[in-house]
Amino acid sequence: MKKFTNIFLIACFMCIHPLYASTCVNVDVNGFLVNSGVPIDQCNDLVLLDATEYNSINVDSIVATLIDLFQFSAEDMGAFVATCIITFITGHGVGRVVRILGKS
């Protein structure tokens, strides 16, 4: 009878809390992860993924997103170099004016 009760309790727990689901957790004062009970779409803390969800993440789409966000194009390089040259010439000119005014 005790074995049946244990199996029944495990089956009930599996129905209430699915084994393969993401869970929103936070860290308590002792450093342990605690289920926060917040739905995943509203989670501001840590999200634990199960193995199937982790494996379903498409690495190629993540890489493509990172390239789109952080790619350094020729236009960006040209704007950066132009800004550096203009800043150098302006600073050099201001330095000359300050030097001339300092002598008089």
Structure token pair of residue 10: 């495990």
Per-residue CA distances from 21 to 42, 49, 75, 79, 81 (Å): 15, 7, 45, 47, 50
The CA distance from 81 to 84, in Å, is 5
Q: What is the average pLDDT value for the chain, to the nearest integer?
A: 80
pLDDT higher than 50, residue 4: no
pLDDT higher than 50, residue 22: yes
Record the pTM: 0.38
